[in-house]
Amino acid sequence: MEEKKGCREQRQLSIYVHIPFCRQKCYYCDFLSARVQEQTKKDYLIKLKEEIRCAADKYQDEIADTVFFGGGTPTLLQAEELSDLLYLIKTSFHVTENAEITIEANPGTISREKLNHLRQAGFNRLSIGLQSTNDRELKELGRIHTYDEFVEGYHAARTAGFDNVNVDVMSALPGQTSDSYCDTLMKVLALHPEHISAYSLIIEEGTLFWDRYGDNAKVLEKYPALPTEEEERKMYQMTDTILEKAGYHRYEISNYALKDKECKHNNGYWERKNYIGLGLGASSLYENTRWKNTDTMEAYLTLATEQFVCDKTVLKKEEQMEEFMFLGLRLTQGVSMEKFQTEFGRTIQEVYPGIVEKYIGNGLLNVQNERILLSKKGIDVSNLVMSEFLF
């Protein structure tokens, strides 16, 4: 769709599309996803398209500069199904010609033919969930693929023309050592992806890992032990050292990129830009109002679009300030003091008296070019620092 002329000022908008289907639930995963059933999938795509059209009518004056298909495993859908969804978005919304259009994928679901189809359809950024190059570690996570399948899919993506690829890796896995984690990082670096997301395993309630490793779990000997705190810290520090030496800059606590290859879509979340979430359980932020869709499939499929929206909240000024600080401090560039004052009419020091000075004093915060940012030492205890900016 061509951009409208003569309308009110157009603003940037990001679009997230949730595909809640997986071939198998990973043991650590607490995301909203479940094994795919053919009829449910068909019904879901019908409803999702209905929601896309409805949302497009509401946001005709916005310019979409990023689109992100997440999950679940979006690439469990047929290439034609994904292409149809993207075509509908591009013809219903005002999507910029150079928009970043990302799709998440798992190895084992991305054939050469499918990747060619997706690239031709307009997807231009691929995010592959590898997690580890060690097949034993992958098995312990409940992943559906091997390292060799990842490599095959990665090379197929390059052949298809994807020149902006992210690879997810994880540390602190059951049975993982600092040596095996280092091996994962080095093998990923040898492939030269543009972006690497490096996460530390968190044991979440409601997952199989919670039953095995949670607070009240009694870990049986047949399950590999989690790394010690000391080894986990070593892996964490190793990530930054190795990736920085290889030319990747850390632009967010868990994300590293080559020059100009940061994820624009995720940056929008941390900078509190307007975004809308489409699909089961998807969240939105628009003009300081947050809401999410129902996370119950039956409700999503049967209710009218306006009825399955829940938890709608108009953020109070204090809540906006909190988000500005704890989301913005995730970025290594930190938060702009000037922007805070322009947006809220008060300085950060007035709203949070003594806090910035306290953490500058103990070396956890720095001030550079009128921006407040976490120091390297501060990044290691980021949750502690960011909690100080909650009212």
Contact of 347 with 356, CB cutoff 8 Å = no
pLDDT at 3: 42
Q: Which of 289, 274, 320 lies closest to 93 in space, CA to CA?
A: 274
- What's the sign of the alpha-carbon dihedral 101, 322, 20, 307? negative
Contact 379, 371 (CB under 8 A): no
**Longest Cα–Cα distance in the chain:** 68
Q: How far apart are CA 284 and CA 257, in angstroms?
A: 26
Tokens for 372, please give them.
């407040």
CA dihedral sign of residues 24, 128, 95, 275:
positive
pLDDT at residue 30 tops 90:
no
Spatial neighbors of 163 by CB under 8 A, at least 6 apart, are: 194
Residue 1 has pLDDT above 70, yes or no: no
Q: What is the pLDDT of residue 218?
A: 65
Residues 276-289, mean pLDDT to the nearest whole number: 97
Is residue 110 classed as helix, strand or coil in its secondary structure? coil
Asked if 41 and 90 touch (Cβ cutoff 8 Å), the reply is no
Please report the pLDDT score of residue 6 as a whole number: 42
Q: Does pLDDT of 197 surpass 70?
A: yes
Q: Which residues contact 260 (CB under 8 A, 6 or more apart)?
A: none
Least confident stretch, 1-5, 110-114, 175-179: 1-5
Query: Cβ distance 86 to 48 under 8 Å?
Result: no
- pLDDT tens digits, one per residue of 55-64: 999 999 999 9
For 211-220, the CB contacts below 8 A with 24+ separation are 212/27, 213/174
What's residue 344's pLDDT? 97
Give the pTM: 0.94
- Average per-residue pLDDT in the chain? 94
In this structure, of 6-15, 24-33, 255-264, 363-372, the range with the lowest mean pLDDT score is: 6-15
CB distance 102 to 127 below 8 Å? yes
For 295-299, what is the mean pLDDT? 95
Outline where DSSP puts E strands in the chain: 11-19, 21-22, 34-35, 62-71, 94-105, 125-131, 165-171, 195-200, 249-252, 255-257, 275-278, 283-286, 289-293, 309-314, 335-336, 365-368, 371-374
**2 has pLDDT over 60:** no
How many helices (H) and strands (E) in the chain? 16, 17
Cα end-to-end distance, the chain, whole Å: 44
Cα separations (Å) of 240 from 55, 149, 199? 40, 27, 12
CA–CA separation, 71 vs 117, rounded Å?
Answer: 20
* Rounded (5°) CA angle 288-289-290: 120
**Could you give the domains of the chain?**
11-270 (3.20.20.70), 317-391 (1.10.10.920)
Q: What is the pLDDT of residue 36?
A: 83
Evaluate if residue 93 carries a pLDDT over 60.
Answer: yes
Question: Does 199 have pLDDT greater than 80?
Answer: yes
pLDDT band at 11 (very low <50, low <70, confident <90, very high): confident
> Which residue type sits at 110?
I
Q: Which of 11, 59, 14 is nearest to 268 (CA)?
A: 14
Q: What are 300-318's pLDDT values in tens digits?
A: 999 998 899 998 999 999 9
Q: Does the pLDDT at position 123 exceed 90?
A: yes
Report yes or no: 276 and 13 within 8 Å, Cβ to Cβ.
yes
